[in-house]
Amino acid sequence: MADDFESEGGKSRVRVWTMKDLYDAELLKGAYFDHRYPWHSHEELSLGIVLAGGVHLQTRTCEGIAKRGSFVLVNADELHCGRPGADGWLCRTLHIHPSVFRSVAQESFGSGLPVFTSPVIEDPVLTNALLALHRLSEVPCSSLERQSRIVALIVRLLTHHGRRLELPLSGYSESAAVARARAYLDENLGDKVTLDDLAIIAGIPPFRVLRAFRQAWGITPHAYQLQARVRQAHKLLKSGLALAEAATAAGFADQPHLTRVYKTVMGATPGQFKDDRRRPDDSTGLAAHFEPMEQSALLRGYSTDQRPA
C-alpha cells in the first residue's frame, strides 16, 4: 500500500464535484499525506471510504483509526478532526444534506434521523457500495440507478449502524444565551465581534459566554465564526460567485485569507472546488491516475457490485 503512494511522489491531490441527481451531494476524491484537519464541522453528513493508508479520526465523544476498507461517517454539525497515518491516506467522500437521510428514515421506518455514534465503521458491503456509487458519479449513468444506490446505502446505514433516537445532530444542546450568541456570529461574519459584544447579545457576562459557548460547541466563538465564514464562502462559490467576491462577502480579509482557511477546513482550495465541479464526468487528469491506485487498494475478495441489503 505504501508503494502506491510512493509511486506518486508523495504529492497530495484532490478533486471535488457536485451531482444534481444525488440530491446535490458533493463528492471528493483525494490523496493526503501531511494534511491535518482541525476541529470543524459540516452542515451535511459526511460519508467516506479509505482506499489506502489510514487516518485517525476524532469526534467529541469517540475516536478511531480508519484504514484501508473502512467506512467513515460523521454526523451533520458534529465537531471532528483528523490526522494522517504514517503513509497518508487515499479516500473518496460524499457530503449529503441530512434532509435526505431524514426523508429515507421517515419513509422506510417511520422514524426521525438517528445518530451515528462512531466515525469509523467496518462494513465491507457499505464500503463497496459507496465506492461503486462514487465511480458512477464520474461516468454516464442514469439518475435512477444513482438514486437507487444512494437510497439503498442509506437504508443499510439506518438499519445496521444508527441509534434510532431523535437527538440533536451535534449530540449536545445549547442554552438560549449561546443560541443568541451563535446567531449573532452567523449574521455578522464580516464584523470584528468582541467578547463584550457577545455578552450583551447573550445577556450573560463575557467569561460565562466564552465558557458556555465552548461547552456547547467544543470550540471558541472566534473559531466558530471562522468556520461560519468558510460555510458561507462555500455556498457563494456553489452559486458561481468569483473567489474575490466570495471572500469579501463571507467576511475574509482577502482572497488569500479565504484560500488558506478554506483549504485547512475543506481539504481543497476554493479554486480547485470551482474548477473541478464543472467536470464531473472527466476521465482525464486526476481521474486517470487515481484509478490504478484504487485498483491496488481495494479490499481483496469483495466485489464492487455488492449492493447494500
Q: Please give the DSSP secondary-structure letter assigned to residue 240.
A: T
Domain assignment present for 50: yes
Domain assignment present for 257: yes
Shared domain for 103 and 233, answered yes or no, is no
In this prediction the pTM is 0.71
Which contacts (CB < 8 Å, 24+ apart) does range 162-168 have? 162/114, 162/115, 162/116, 163/114, 163/115, 163/116, 163/117, 164/109, 164/111, 164/114, 165/114, 165/115, 166/111, 166/112, 166/113, 167/115
Q: Print burial letters for 264-281: b (CB count within 10 Å at least 16), e (below 16).
A: ebbbbbbebbbebbeebe
Shared domain for 36 and 8, answered yes or no, is yes
Which residues share a beta bridge with 54?
A: 67
Shared domain for 229 and 291, answered yes or no, is no
H-helix or E-strand containing 95? strand 80-96
Phi, psi of 109 (to 5 degrees): -130, -5
CB 90 within 8 A of CB 297: yes
Shared domain for 41 and 67, answered yes or no, is yes
Shared domain for 153 and 86, answered yes or no, is yes
Shared domain for 146 and 68, answered yes or no, is yes
Question: What CATH number has the domain bearing residue 218?
Answer: 1.10.10.60
What's the structural domain count of the chain? 2
First to last CA, the chain: 30
CB 306 within 8 A of CB 128: yes
Domain assignment present for 308: no
Count of other CB atoms within 10 angstroms of residue 284: 8
CB 308 within 8 A of CB 129: yes
Residue 166 confidence (pLDDT): 41
Domain assignment present for 306: no
Shared domain for 89 and 228, answered yes or no, is no
Shared domain for 54 and 154, answered yes or no, is yes
Shared domain for 59 and 90, answered yes or no, is yes
Question: What CATH number has the domain bearing residue 107?
Answer: 2.60.120.10
- Cβ neighbourhood burial of 15 (10 Å; 0-12, 13-18, 19+): buried
Give which of 55, 13, 42, 48 is closest to 30, Cα–Cα. Answer: 13
Shared domain for 47 and 117, answered yes or no, is yes
Shared domain for 111 and 184, answered yes or no, is no
- Mean pLDDT by groups of 10 residues along the chain of 309 residues: 45 88 92 90 94 94 94 94 92 95 86 85 96 94 91 92 53 73 89 86 87 86 89 87 88 87 84 59 38 43 39
Shared domain for 156 and 60, answered yes or no, is yes
Domain assignment present for 132: yes
**Cell for 214?**
465552548
Domain assignment present for 145: yes
Amino acid at 40: H
Residue 59 confidence (pLDDT): 93
Count of other CB atoms within 10 angstroms of residue 101: 24
Residue 154 confidence (pLDDT): 93
Domain residues for the domain of 22 are 2-168+275-297
**Cell for 57?**
479520526
Residue 9 confidence (pLDDT): 61
Q: Which residues contact 98 (CB under 8 A, 6 or more apart)?
A: 43, 44, 45, 76, 113, 169
Give the integer Cα–Cα distance in Å for 177 and 270. 34
Domain assignment present for 90: yes
Domain assignment present for 115: yes
Beta strands in 117-161 (DSSP E): 120-121
